[in-house]
């Protein structure tokens, strides 16, 4: 193979953006060869490309080596499994599935060594987060002690939620801010800091909007080594913030307003605390502003890496098998809040699936399908 023939499943805003990037030559060695969407009018967006009204027809067309799935959340699992079972390479938009049990089913269909299976976690290409991960992994920060991420710049109006009957419903999206806006943040959290052992969260359903699902969340995360974290997000707060603060033995890192600040302790804080004769004064510090420009190649970088992995065996920047972690964090936060308890990780995926199905059964859009919705139902009902 000298190039990869890519079929795009779902021609909404994201799918159409990816299609344009390929057609404009922004993805080396990629060719856009087929498209699928349940809305027949979507065919008019890219008339130069063969269009299929259903996913199965595209998968079996013989026109594609790989698919990029950009459909609503519930469809990711069924469409992705179908593509993997057909032997295709798969790149799936975030989140890879709505809940952990579906992630497990999706991942089980993957054939390592024979397929490339990637997720659209484009924030992993951002040099701010790459630098922070480097400082953590090379020991420059020392042991982590506290993490706090306030990401409330996801403001959405009531008009946004009213723009689609499926929006912000349990049956339509499977969740709110955690499943729709925050998968990138939650993926970065586990990519940078690993998975916690316990989660206690408070997720307000419709605090700021007339919706079924969570639009305001505060979560406390605890690690076995004693590290603690707080994750705060909302779609109702304006003006919002995006501030990531990491306190560690060797200092404090703050990422905010396109600045990367590292206040470095000359002596690790615990060592200083145990050896100094001073009562109130902390260790001397250096103030370091790390110069970083731009936010990286983002979506195009992930697609380019996907193609390079298929053709050259390049390591994936965002393996889809890691996508289960951000979904589990979101699920654990909702489960913790709705059951009013601390949730231990790894989480019981069947327990959360039962809770989600109960929520779906009471959803205002449950009449859109004949039975309690499954992933297959939503690949048919909400694919455009």
* Residue 222 resides in a domain: yes
Residue 108: what are its φ and ψ, rounded to 5°? -65, -25
Give yes or no for residue 370 having a pLDDT over 70. Answer: no
d(CA 372, CA 238): 36
**Per mean pLDDT, which range of 123-127, 138-142, 161-165, 216-220 is the poorest?**
161-165
* Residue 357 resides in a domain: no
Report percent pLDDT > 90 for the chain.
93
Q: How many domains is the chain built from?
A: 2
Return the CATH number at 88: 3.40.50.720
* Residue 344 resides in a domain: no
Contact assessment for residue 204 and residue 215, using Cβ atoms and an 8 Å cutoff: yes
Residues 128 and 41 placed together within one structural domain of the fold:
no
Provide the pLDDT for residue 366: 62
* Residue 355 resides in a domain: no
Domain span including residue 38: 4-123+298-320
Residues 206 and 191 placed together within one structural domain of the fold:
yes
Neighbour tally for 193: CB within 10 Å? 19
* Residue 73 resides in a domain: yes
Instruction: Find out whether the peptide bond into 57 is cis, omega within 30 degrees of 0.
Output: no
User: Region 211-240: what's the mean pLDDT?
Assistant: 98
d(CA 250, CA 141): 5
Residues 74 and 152 placed together within one structural domain of the fold:
no
Residue 364's pLDDT band, with cuts at 50, 70 and 90, is: confident
Residues 255 and 133 placed together within one structural domain of the fold:
yes
Residues 229 and 276 placed together within one structural domain of the fold:
yes
Strands (DSSP E) found in the chain: 4-9, 30-36, 51-52, 66-69, 89-92, 117-119, 144-151, 198-205, 214-222, 228-234, 242-248, 251-256, 259-265, 285-289, 343-344
Provide the pLDDT for residue 315: 98
Give yes or no for residue 32 having a pLDDT over 80. Answer: yes
Residues 129 and 210 placed together within one structural domain of the fold:
yes
Return the CATH number at 156: 3.30.360.10
d(CA 30, CA 211): 40
Q: What is the pLDDT of residues 60-117, one digit of tens each?
A: 999 999 999 999 999 999 999 999 999 999 999 999 999 999 999 999 999 999 999 9
Using CB atoms within 10 A of its CB, is residue 47 exposed (0-12), middle (13-18) or buried (19+)?
Answer: exposed
Provide the pLDDT for residue 381: 34
Contact assessment for residue 235 and residue 224, using Cβ atoms and an 8 Å cutoff: no
User: How far does the chain reach from its first CA to its final CA, in angstroms?
Assistant: 31
Residue 164's pLDDT band, with cuts at 50, 70 and 90, is: confident
Alpha carbon of residue 379 to chain centroid = 20
Residues 312 and 241 placed together within one structural domain of the fold:
no
Provide the pLDDT for residue 371: 31
* Residue 373 resides in a domain: no
Q: Give the list of residues 6+ apart from residue 13 with CB closer than 8 angstroms, or none.
A: none
Task: Report how many helices (DSSP H) and strands (DSSP E) the chain contains, helices first.
Answer: 13, 15
Residues 224 and 238 placed together within one structural domain of the fold:
yes
Residues 228 and 169 placed together within one structural domain of the fold:
yes
Provide the pLDDT for residue 373: 36
Residues 193 and 64 placed together within one structural domain of the fold:
no
Q: What is the pLDDT of residues 293-349, one digit of tens each?
A: 999 999 999 999 999 999 999 999 999 999 999 999 999 999 999 999 999 999 999
* Residue 241 resides in a domain: yes
* Residue 326 resides in a domain: no
Residues 136 and 275 placed together within one structural domain of the fold:
yes
Residue 166's pLDDT band, with cuts at 50, 70 and 90, is: confident
Provide the pLDDT for residue 215: 98
Q: β-strands 4-9, 66-69: how paired?
A: parallel
Contact assessment for residue 322 and residue 119, using Cβ atoms and an 8 Å cutoff: yes
Residues 103 and 245 placed together within one structural domain of the fold:
no
d(CA 248, CA 146): 7
Provide the pLDDT for residue 365: 83
Residue 165's pLDDT band, with cuts at 50, 70 and 90, is: confident
d(CA 156, CA 179): 14
Instruction: Find out whether the peptide bond into 346 is cis, omega within 30 degrees of 0.
Output: yes
């Amino acid at each position: 193979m000298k190039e990869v023939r890519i079929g795009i499943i779902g021609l909404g805003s994201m799918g159409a953006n990816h299609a344009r990037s390929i057609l404009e030559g922004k993805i080396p060695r990629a060719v856009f060869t087929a498209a699928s969407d349940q809305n027949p009018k979507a065919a008019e967006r890219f008339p130069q490309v063969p269009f299929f009204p259903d996913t199965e027809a595209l998968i079996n067309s013989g026109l594609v080596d790989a698919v990029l799935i950009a459909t609503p959340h519930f469809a990711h699992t069924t469409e992705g499994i179908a593509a993997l079972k057909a032997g295709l390479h798969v790149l799936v938009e975030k989140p890879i599935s709505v809940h952990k049990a579906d992630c497990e089913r999706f991942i089980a269909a993957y054939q390592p060594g024979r397929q490339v299976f990637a997720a659209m976690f484009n924030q992993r290409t951002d040099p701010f987060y790459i630098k922070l991960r480097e400082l953590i992994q090379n020991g420059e920060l020392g042991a982590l002690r506290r993490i706090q991420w306030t990401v409330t710049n996801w403001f959405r109006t009531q008009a946004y939620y009213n723009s689609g009957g499926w929006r912000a419903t349990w049956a339509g999206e499977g969740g709110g801010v955690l499943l729709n806006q925050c998968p990138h943040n939650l993926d970065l959290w586990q990519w940078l800091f690993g998975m916690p052992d316990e989660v206690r969260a408070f997720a307000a359903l419709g605090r700021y909007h007339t919706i079924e699902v969570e639009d305001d969340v505060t979560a406390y995360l605890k690690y076995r080594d004693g590290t603690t974290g707080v994750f705060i997000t909302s779609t109702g707060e304006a003006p919002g913030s995006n501030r990531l603060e990491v306190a560690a033995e060797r200092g404090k890192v703050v990422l905010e307003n396109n600045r990367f600040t590292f206040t470095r302790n000359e002596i690790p804080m615990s060592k200083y605390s145990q050896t100094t004769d001073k009562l109130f004064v902390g260790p001397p510090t250096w103030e370091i502003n790390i110069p970083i420009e731009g936010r990286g190649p983002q979506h195009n970088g992930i697609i380019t890496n996907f193609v390079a992995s298929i053709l050259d065996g390049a390591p994936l920047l965002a393996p889809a098998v890691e996508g289960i972690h951000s979904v589990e964090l979101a699920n654990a936060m909702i489960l913790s809040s709705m059951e009013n308890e601390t949730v231990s990780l790894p989480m019981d995926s069947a327990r959360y699936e039962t809770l989600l199905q109960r929520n779906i059964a009471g959803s205002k859009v449950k009449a859109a399908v004949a039975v309690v919705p499954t992933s297959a139902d939503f690949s048919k009902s909400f694919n455009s």
